[in-house]
């Protein structure tokens, strides 16, 4: 609501220290606010206008306002006061009136103007009670259980120590800190999992592998949501799945993870091997024709046996059948 002309200000006289009223219309008449109030800074009324820093050259403009920066037990004669005031206090205001070519003194009634004299804090803010140099703090937020245990009657409201990070809320090795507040993004990730459980009660939430055999044959990605599980194909450098060879692969000697043999196929191969192995073959014995046989073994240990042409076998003719028989 705007000020009305008959609204009243309460002022204290610096002559008799009594309180008086002042109508807004009367103040306007004295100030003659044609150009309005113009704040110019502060002045020391113990010294003349020309002795100020920077120096003040009179006359001033109508409505120029200064704050008295220190108590003046005797206002310097260079300051012509409209009502003949001789003293002023720190925090008082002086406003120049061109009609009277004098300064109007507006007092504040106390030399503590502009100075904090006390601070009252409302929980969760707290003050140490010092009226001059108060220390303000904010208590840390706590649970109802914590507030009850502390027994100070100050409730649960307060500041948070910090915001939680992903490592704080991991279900495996998260910090689970009681001073880390969970933010919306972290809570949403949990809500997404909870929602999936609602849609599929008792369903699997995450899929991982411990790789207990250290073979890295199982691939899982991602670990939650639309999980994809794959087995790697075996190779010379990786563990994985293989395929049993068919008869054609065995016949042609196909190599690779698609042509491995099972126990029955291996047994068939073993059963077809000679029961007794031939270690060596050499010419020898009693009453033989030495050199009659040509025995040769190649790099694959294949043995070739032949009869030399110039060897007469047998040489005991009496053992032959009679030609006339």
Summarised one tens digit per residue, pLDDT across range 192-238 is: 877 777 666 666 667 888 888 888 888 888 877 778 888 888 888 88
CA 205 to CA 193: how far, in whole Å? Answer: 7
Q: What is the DSSP string of 71-115?
A: -BSS--TTS-BTT----B-TT-EEEEETTTTEEEEE--SSTTTTS
Domain-embedded: residue 63: yes
- pTM (predicted TM-score): 0.30
Domain-embedded: residue 266: no
Pairing type for strands 180-181 and 162-163 reads parallel
Percentage of the residues of the chain whose pLDDT score is greater than 90 = 14
Domain-embedded: residue 71: yes
Residue 91 domain boundaries: 8-106
Q: Where are the alpha helices (DSSP H) in the chain?
A: 24-31, 144-150, 166-169, 184-199, 247-252, 263-271
Q: How confident is the model at residue 139 (pLDDT cuts 50, 70, 90)?
A: confident
Residues 97 and 16 grouped into a single domain: yes
Domain-embedded: residue 249: no
Domain-embedded: residue 291: no
Please give the tally of structural domains in the chain: 2
Choosing from 192, 211, 236, the residue where a domain stops is: 192
Summarised one tens digit per residue, pLDDT across range 32-74 is: 544 567 888 899 999 999 999 888 888 888 888 999 999 999 9
Residues 25 and 99 grouped into a single domain: yes
CA 292 to CA 313: how far, in whole Å? Answer: 8
Domain-embedded: residue 264: no
Least confident of 178-187, 235-244, 261-270, 272-281: 272-281
> pLDDT value at position 69?
92
Domain-embedded: residue 218: no
Domain-embedded: residue 43: yes
Choosing from 192, 212, 239, the residue where a domain stops is: 192
Residues 12 and 89 grouped into a single domain: yes
> pLDDT value at position 306?
86
Summarised one tens digit per residue, pLDDT across range 72-124 is: 999 999 999 999 999 999 999 999 988 889 999 998 765 555 555 667 778 78
> pLDDT value at position 74?
95
Average pLDDT, the chain: 81
118, 97 Cβ separation under 8 angstroms: no
Least confident of 29-43, 179-193, 215-229, 241-255: 29-43
Q: Cα angle vertex 222, ends 220, 227, to 5°?
A: 75
Cis peptide before 124 (omega within 30 of 0): yes
> pLDDT value at position 33?
46
> pLDDT value at position 34?
47
Choosing from 106, 130, 148, the residue where a domain stops is: 106
């Amino acid at each position: 609501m705007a000020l009305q002309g008959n609204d009243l200000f309460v002022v204290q006289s610096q002559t008799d220290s009594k309180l008086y009223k002042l109508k807004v219309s009367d103040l306007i008449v004295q100030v003659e606010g044609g150009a309005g109030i113009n704040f110019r800074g502060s002045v020391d009324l113990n010294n003349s206008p020309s002795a100020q820093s920077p120096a003040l050259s009179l006359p001033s403009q109508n409505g120029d306002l200064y704050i008295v920066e220190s108590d003046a037990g005797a206002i310097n004669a260079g300051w012509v006061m409209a009502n003949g005031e001789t003293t002023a206090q720190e925090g008082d205001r002086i406003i120049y009136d061109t009609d009277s070519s004098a300064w109007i003194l507006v007092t504040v009634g106390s030399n503590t103007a502009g100075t904090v004299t006390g601070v009252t804090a409302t929980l969760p803010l707290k003050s140490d009670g010092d009226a001059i140099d108060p220390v303000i703090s904010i208590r840390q937020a706590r649970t109802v259980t914590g507030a009850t245990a502390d027994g100070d009657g100050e409730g649960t409201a307060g500041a948070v120590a910090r915001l939680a990070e992903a490592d704080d809320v991991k279900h495996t090795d998260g910090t689970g800190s009681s001073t880390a507040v969970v933010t919306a993004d972290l809570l949403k990730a949990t809500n997404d999992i909870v929602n999936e459980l609602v849609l599929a009660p008792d369903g699997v939430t995450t899929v991982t592998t411990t790789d207990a055999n250290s073979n890295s044959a199982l691939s899982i990605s991602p670990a939650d949501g639309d999980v994809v599980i794959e087995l790697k194909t075996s190779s010379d450098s990786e563990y994985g799945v293989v395929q049993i060879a068919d008869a054609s692969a065995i016949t042609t000697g196909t190599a690779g993870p698609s042509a491995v043999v099972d126990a029955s196929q291996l047994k068939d191969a073993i059963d077809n091997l000679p029961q007794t192995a031939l270690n060596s073959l050499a010419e020898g014995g009693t009453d033989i024709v030495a050199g009659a046989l040509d025995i040769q073994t190649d790099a694959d240990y294949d043995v070739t046996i032949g009869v030399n042409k110039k060897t007469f076998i047998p040489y005991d003719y009496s053992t032959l059948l009679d030609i006339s028989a």
